[in-house]
């Protein structure tokens, strides 16, 4: 009973009652098909085992506070972190707030020179909603290992372990061979739920909104009405060069649950979004936002942001690596977890205890499904044809016939299906009305007109046998079907051909003018990347159509052009013999400009001891007004959103343009208070000190927070 009550279960009574997080209505009945209600709008339950909400008895009555270092007033007996395999603490990671359950080993082996402490249960800086005193703060089904010279702090709580312990552990140790047994069934339940949230019936859950990855951010736009907002993402949330980008949500109704299914075998989120003080709109979604990774074996969270929302990783063979300064929300992985820090920059990475109060699809309900099939045949002899490409669409807008464009289009189900040797494409889907749309004919055949086959009505009566339609194609006449598309890379100033540029060829396939490389309906990348030769040329022989060359890497010493898309190149019967070509010009890279660096050293005001864990923003003077302005239309420019001082008490800001800078302290080390003046500067980075750098030493006085051990 002891474990089950803390988990959110009471023996013999099933799940505890979890209040609904909202009462926002979904789409009106005349706009919701049976399939849509089964796969997109059925929001009824919390996570398996009652995971997610705060477990009483002393939950914050008015919601969880933002990240702070004040006194602990509230307690949460719910599991904040669940790890299905091993939990590894590495480099300069600092804290895991809330209850932590690990089915495998807990292994702490931090970097030399880093803070020797890792906290579980209570955190010096976080929501400061901790587990009840005397309860299990860390539970493991395996060993608990702490590296030489390090300490694992669970003071006030119990470390319950099935395996052996080694190293210095501060807390009540209780060896229990059955420690993790109550939580073992959760692993499979979480995996099944993760799959259900993303892949109901083996397909892909119908999204309610759109995702656009462009302009240095990923924008999630909801439908403005649904109580469950569903987004599907099949790309990494980072810039094209692998750097940080923003995360933004729009048109999300008040109180709605947001489910983001991040699809793919390996996914990275690299972001600066999310704040400590809950001023960001991203923060406001935290308690109703779930990031679901159903398939990935590798998941990475990095950047400088305070990441918001709960996380579910469903693949039991996965490794999730977290190095962002803060994770704010429940964290449940059925695989392993590495909590670490970035190779450059400060340490102090933390998991913060925040609940998930959203309503998710009820994965326990059986949804009637059936098969919808298209059979591709030669129009003359009836021979079945391989190589045709089809899209499956569901009738969802209440308008007869298929609509594939506009704000009120029908719903595309899954990706492209290619007919194999039997000439068939088939999908298992919920009841509803469907259309097959042929987007590419088999080689040597013409695309039929019209190229839409249906409607196919899948009902309770025919679901067991499924529904099918036959699509025929005529053979093409003997015409030219392919030709060359070429790009020639030259120096913009001299016209000299340039070797070493890398290009990717794309084909226009989605019917939308211009090149679309991301989103739910992108154009199609064709062939492998091509590197220009000594003549500056890249070429490919391709079927007739419209193409674009995208430059992905400039020659050495040259700047990647903006835009880096060249085309469209329209390859027709008339132009196929000679092919089509486009010229791409590059500008030589300017000589590097002088940059400098600024080093912050944080020390104890009394003892002069270096302090780790202080967090600073770096601002540049840009508005011409003396002093630092951080708000308003003419505020100065934020250069770094937050650097935490390392074990030497240092933060280094490199590659700075010459100018005036300010340091703003936003969080203090454990046991210290913010100074009366949190802004220092201006600090001048000049030609004269650029090579040596500027060093600023600041101090903190003690007072408040956990005492240093």
- From residue 501, alpha-carbon distances to 98, 495, 544, 550, 582 in Å are 51, 15, 25, 10, 14
Paired residues of 259 in beta bridges: 230, 290
| 324-353 mean pLDDT | 96
Residue 28 has pLDDT above 60, yes or no: no
Model confidence band, residue 653 (pLDDT cutoffs 50, 70, 90)? very high
pLDDT (0 to 100) of residue 37? 31
Residue 31 has pLDDT above 70, yes or no: no
- Collapsing DSSP to helix, strand or coil, 38 comes out as helix
Sheet with 467-473, side-by-side order of all strands: 424-430, 369-378, 467-473
Rounded CA-CA distance 424/384 in Å is: 8
Model confidence band, residue 374 (pLDDT cutoffs 50, 70, 90)? very high
Task: Please write the tens of the pLDDT for every residue from 504-543.
Answer: 999 999 999 999 999 999 999 999 999 999 999 999 999 9
Provide the 10 A C-beta neighbour count for residue 527.
12
**Share of residues in the chain with pLDDT > 70 (%):** 92
Q: Is the pTM of this model over 0.85?
A: no
CA 620 to chain centre: 30
| Pairing outcome for strands 350-352 and 326-328 | parallel
**CB-facing half-sphere around the CA of 405: CA atoms within 13 A:** 4
pLDDT (0 to 100) of residue 363? 73
Q: Read out DSSP for 128-160?
A: -EEPPTTSEEEEESS-EEE-TT-EEEEEEEEEE
Model confidence band, residue 364 (pLDDT cutoffs 50, 70, 90)? low
Look over the chain and give the mean of its residue pLDDT values, rounded to a whole number: 90
Highest mean pLDDT among 24-38, 40-54, 675-689: 675-689
In the block, tokens 């800086």 appear at 125
Task: Please write the tens of the pLDDT for every residue from 446-495.
Answer: 999 999 999 999 999 999 999 999 999 999 876 567 999 999 999 999 99
Structural domains present in the chain:
74-361 (no CATH), 369-473 (2.60.40.10), 482-588 (2.60.40.10), 595-700 (2.60.40.10)
Residue 149 has pLDDT above 90, yes or no: yes
Residue 561 and residue 509 in contact, taking contact as beta carbons nearer than 8 Å: no
| Pairing outcome for strands 411-418 and 389-394 | antiparallel
The CA R_g of the chain, rounded to the nearest whole Å, is: 29
Residue 403 has pLDDT above 60, yes or no: yes
Pick the closest to residue 280 from 333, 235, 223, 217 (CA basis): 217
pLDDT (0 to 100) of residue 21? 27
Structure tokens at 630: 């951080």
Structure tokens at 194: 């993760």
Model confidence band, residue 570 (pLDDT cutoffs 50, 70, 90)? very high
Residue 94 and residue 706 in contact, taking contact as beta carbons nearer than 8 Å: no
Residue 362 has pLDDT above 90, yes or no: no
Residue 23 has pLDDT above 60, yes or no: no
| 590-604 mean pLDDT | 87
* DSSP assigned state of 7: H
pLDDT (0 to 100) of residue 428? 83
Residue 347 has pLDDT above 90, yes or no: yes
């Amino acid at each position: 009973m002891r474990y089950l009550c803390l988990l959110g279960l009471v023996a013999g009574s099933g799940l505890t009652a979890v209040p609904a997080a909202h009462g926002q209505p979904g789409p009106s009945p005349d706009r919701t098909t049976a399939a849509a209600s089964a796969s997109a709008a059925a929001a009824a339950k919390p996570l398996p085992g009652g995971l997610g909400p705060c477990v009483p008895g002393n939950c914050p009555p008015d919601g969880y506070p933002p990240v702070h270092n004040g006194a602990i007033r509230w307690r949460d007996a719910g599991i904040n972190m669940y790890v299905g395999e091993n939990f590894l603490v590495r480099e300069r990671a600092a804290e895991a707030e809330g209850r932590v359950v690990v089915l495998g080993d807990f292994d702490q082996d931090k970097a030399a020179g880093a803070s020797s402490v890792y906290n579980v249960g209570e955190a010096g800086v976080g929501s400061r909603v901790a587990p009840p005193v005397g309860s299990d703060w860390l539970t493991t089904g395996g060993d608990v290992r702490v590296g030489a010279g390090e300490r694992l702090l669970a003071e006030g709580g119990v470390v319950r372990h099935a395996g052996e312990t080694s190293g210095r552990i501060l807390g009540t140790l209780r060896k229990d061979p059955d420690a993790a047994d109550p939580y073992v069934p959760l692993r499979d339940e979480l995996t099944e739920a993760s799959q259900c949230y993303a892949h109901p019936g083996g397909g892909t859950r119908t999204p309610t909104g759109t995702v656009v990855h462009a302009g240095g951010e990923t924008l999630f736009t909801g439908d403005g009405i649904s109580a469950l907002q569903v987004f599907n993402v099949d790309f990494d949330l980072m810039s094209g060069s692998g750097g940080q980008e923003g995360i933004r949500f729009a048109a999300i109704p008040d109180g709605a649950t947001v489910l983001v299914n991040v699809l793919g075998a390996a996914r990275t989120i690299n972001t600066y979004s999310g704040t400590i003080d809950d001023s960001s709109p991203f923060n406001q979604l935290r308690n109703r936002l779930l990031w679901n990774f159903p398939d990935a074996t590798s998941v990475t969270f990095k950047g400088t942001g305070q990441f918001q929302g709960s996380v579910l990783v469903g693949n039991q063979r996965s490794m999730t690596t977290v190095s962002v300064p803060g994770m704010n929300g429940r964290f449940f992985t059925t695989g392993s977890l590495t909590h670490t820090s970035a190779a450059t920059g400060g340490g102090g990475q933390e998991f913060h205890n925040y609940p998930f109060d959203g309503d998710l699809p009820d994965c326990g309900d059986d949804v009637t499904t059936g098969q919808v099939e298209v059979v591709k045949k030669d129009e003359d002899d009836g021979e079945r044809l391989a190589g045709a490409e089809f899209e499956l669409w569901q009738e969802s807008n209440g308008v007869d016939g298929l609509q594939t464009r506009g704000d009120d289009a029908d719903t595309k189900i899954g990706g492209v299906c290619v007919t194999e040797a039997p000439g068939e494409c088939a999908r298992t889907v919920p009841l509803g009305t469907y259309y097959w749309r042929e987007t590419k004919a088999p080689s040597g055949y013409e695309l039929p007109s019209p190229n839409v086959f249906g409607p196919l009505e899948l009902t309770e009566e025919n679901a067991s046998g499924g529904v099918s339609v036959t699509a025929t194609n005529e053979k093409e006449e003997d015409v030219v079907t392919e030709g060359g598309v070429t790009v020639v890379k030259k120096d913009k100033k001299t016209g000299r051909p340039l070797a070493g540029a890398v290009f990717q060829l794309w084909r226009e396939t989605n019917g939308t003018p211009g090149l679309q490389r991301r989103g739910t309906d992108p154009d199609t990348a064709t062939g492998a990347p091509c590197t220009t030769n000594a003549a500056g040329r890249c070429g490919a022989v391709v079927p007739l159509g419209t193409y674009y060359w995208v430059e992905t890497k400039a020659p050495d010493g040259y700047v990647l052009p903006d835009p880096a898309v060249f085309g469209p190149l329209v390859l027709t019967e008339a132009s196929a013999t000679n092919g089509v070509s486009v010229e791409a010009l590059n500008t030589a890279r300017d000589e590097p400009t002088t940059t400098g660096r600024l080093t912050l050293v944080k020390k104890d005001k009394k003892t002069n001891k270096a302090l780790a864990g202080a967090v600073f923003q770096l601002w540049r003077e840009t508005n011409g007004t003396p002093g630092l302005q951080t708000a308003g239309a003419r505020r100065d420019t934020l250069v770094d959103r937050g650097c935490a001082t390392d074990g030497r008490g240092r933060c280094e800001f490199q590659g700075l343009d010459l100018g005036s800078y300010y340091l703003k302290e936003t969080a203090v080390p454990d046991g210290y208070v913010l100074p009366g003046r949190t802004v220092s500067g201006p600090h001048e980075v000049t030609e004269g000190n650029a090579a040596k750098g500027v060093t600023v030493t600041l101090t903190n006085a003690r007072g408040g927070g956990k005492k240093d051990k």
